[in-house]
Every structure is written in structure tokens, then in C-alpha cells.
Amino acid sequence: MSLAPDEALEQAALAGIHCLRIPTPFAVGRVNCYLLEDEPLTLIDTGPNSGKALDELQSQLAAHGHSIDDLELVILTHQHIDHVGLVEIIVEHSGAEVAALGLAAERLAGFGEESEREDEFAVELMLRNGIPEEVAHALQSVSRSFRGWGAKAQVTRPLEDGQALPFRDRTLQALHRPGHSPSDTVFWDERRRILIAADHLIAHISSNPLIARPLDGSARRTQALVAYLESMRKTREMPAEIVLSGHGEPIVDHVALIDERLAKHERRREKIYDLIAERPRTGYELAQALWGNVAVTQAFLTLSEVIGHADLLLNEGRVREAGDGDVVTYETTE
Ligand SMILES: [Zn+2]
């Protein structure tokens, strides 16, 4: 029988893993960071770079008898700013080491320019998929206005996929699970069957497989949904009892949740295929047909979702890209 979510949190706390809920300015609400009371004393994810987040982090650490200065290791689960924004300040105070996926080290170190390039890449992708210029540029400004909540991170302990991180009381295995972002990494305590999964798996919302620039800096884009489905299938096979997420409550039955998400994506893929079969459409037209005005206000997110499914159909040979060279339309191959 599986645990209730609050029992799962209690059990994690007994294992020395404490959930700290840090405020963010984003629609997703608070981000879950985890204090690992072990040697070294460790914080997994930091919250965004804001005074409010820093104050709350301090007071929540104090409730466990610690301060930022005591931290010896910061582990970063992925490149998004609600998870890494405070890392520079924490390192200044504590001198903590920073562990993260080695493949992501350059991206994390070059935060300012890398974000600028990410935004340019997003604008180009939006224009190529039929999103109007004014919408694409408005979103670029929104993204720039959030830049201050991030910060660069110097990774001092680059991790490889599968690498074991030893602590006094436990070992965590770092596992690369790209999809939500190219750098998503989960941390597996095999003995306790606890998986710290951050945004790879969230109970109350389906993690967005956001299209991004690959970590190796190449000009191509990621097939984010294709990667995400593969990552979820790997996680499905793990005998986890508790999955600790980056937002919301812990997951106590990850197999059922993953099956639900896989089925949902399959239905959406078929719906998108049917829309393309009706007539060739751009990514933007597909997003509008599915979500109406949300395709404008959340243009990049909805476009990422549509392109993700189009990638699945492209890989299966059921649709192909056509269009006038500037804007891509999808059409069926039959
Ligand atoms: Zn994220």
C-alpha cells in the first residue's frame, strides 16, 4: 500500500530530507528545495534570486538549526531559474561546493549570455512556426524581465549520468533525465527507495517539455517531448516508494502517474495528427486549435507541446514538414 503524501514527507524527514518551500514570482508558485541533513550538509536547489526567497530560505533553514553559512554542498537539479537563482549568494556566504550535471556546467556558468541566446533561439523558433512577430517579441521581453531572478552558477563537482554521490549516511545516484529541460537530473537513494526528481515529475501538473538549445551548444533544437517520454519510461522502471518533486506534493505512486501522463500524450498526439490530416497547419495554428487564446499568452509553452508531438509523428513517418521556407507547416504523408 502506498503512503499518503504527508506521510511521505514525514518519512523523508526521518531520513534527513526536509522539504523547504521557497516563494517564486512565477505562476507555478513555490519551489521545493530539499535540505539534506548529512555530511556534507546539503541543499538541493535554491529558489530564485530574490530577497524574499533568501529570507525564507534562511528562516526555514533556521527552523532545522542551520544557516546558509553552514551549507557545504549545493546540488542543482536543472537549469531553470526558480531552482538555481540563489546559488551564487549561497556560495558567497558558505563556500559550498556546487554539484550539477557536468554537461550543463557551461550553460550554468554563462547564465547571462546563455539566457539571451536561449531567448533569441525561442523567437526564431516561434517565427518559423507561424507565431506573429509582435507575440514572439512580447514574450522575449517578458523572459528578459525575469532574468534578474536567475544567476550564474560555477559547478565545482560536475556529475556524470549514473555517478554515485557519497554522503556519511547515504549514497545518491545522479541520473540524467532530459525532457522538461535538457539538464534535468534526478537523485536516487536506492536503499531508502526515495527519488528526488525535481521538475522531472510533478503530481498536480504535467511537466512542460520545453524546447531548448542542446547543452552541447549545437545549433539544432532538442526533441524535448521525445526525450521526456524516454526519460519517464526509465523512471517508471525504478522501485521508488517516494518521489520528491520540485513543486507541489510528493508522489507516492509514480508508476500510475507516469502511465496516466503517457496515455495523455498519446491521445494528444492523435488529436494533433487528426488536425493535420484535416489540412496542413503551422505549429501556431495547431496550438490555437487546441488551446485558443492560451496559444497567444503562453505561446512558447503551447508551441513546445505541439512541436513535441509533431516530432513524434515526424519520427514515425506519419507527418512531414512543408511550407514556404520561412514558416513550417505540417502535413500528413498519406
Ligand atoms: Zn523547471
pLDDT per residue as tens digits for the range 125-164? 999 999 999 999 999 999 999 999 999 999 999 999 999 9
**Helical segments of 198-293, H only:** 224-236, 254-278, 283-291
User: What separation in Å is there between the alpha carbon of 26 and the centre of ligand 1?
Assistant: 11
Question: How large is the average pLDDT for residues 219-227?
Answer: 91
Q: Are 177 and 186 in contact (CB under 8 A)?
A: yes
Ligand 1 centroid – CA 181 distance (Å): 7
Is 53's pLDDT higher than 80?
yes
Q: Name the residue among 197, 123, 108, 194 with its Cα closest to residue 155.
A: 108
Average pLDDT, the chain: 96
Residue 103 has pLDDT above 80, yes or no: yes
Distance 180 CA to ligand 1 centre (A): 7
Q: Summarize the confidence of residues 250-266 as an average pLDDT.
A: 97
Give distance in angstroms: CA of 75 to centre of ligand 1: 14
According to DSSP, residue 334 is labeled -
Distance 322 CA to ligand 1 centre (A): 32
Ranges assigned E (strand) in the chain: 17-22, 31-36, 42-44, 73-75, 97-101, 157-159, 164-166, 171-176, 185-189, 194-198, 242-245, 319-323, 328-332
State the pLDDT at residue 219.
78
Average pLDDT over residues 36-63: 98
The predicted pLDDT at position 1 comes to 59
| For the chain, percent of residues with pLDDT exceeding 90 | 93
CA of 183 to the centre of ligand 1 (A): 10
What Cα–Cα distance (Å) separates residue 183 from each residue in 51, 231, 250?
A: 26, 12, 21
How far is the centre of ligand 1, averaged over its atoms, from the C-alpha of 332 (Å)?
A: 33
Decide if pLDDT at 166 tops 90.
yes
Q: How far is the CA of 213 from the centre of ligand 1 (A)?
A: 15
* CA atoms in the 13 A half-sphere facing the CB of 70: 16
Range of weakest confidence among 154-158, 217-221, 237-241, 261-265: 217-221
307 CA from centroid of ligand 1 (Å): 19
The three cell numbers of residue 19 are 522539504
Compute the distance from residue 278 Cα to the ligand 1 centre, in Å: 34
Distance CA 242, CA 254 (A): 8
Q: Answer whether residue 324 shows pLDDT above 90.
A: no
Do 103 and 217 form a contact (C-beta atoms < 8 A)? Answer: no
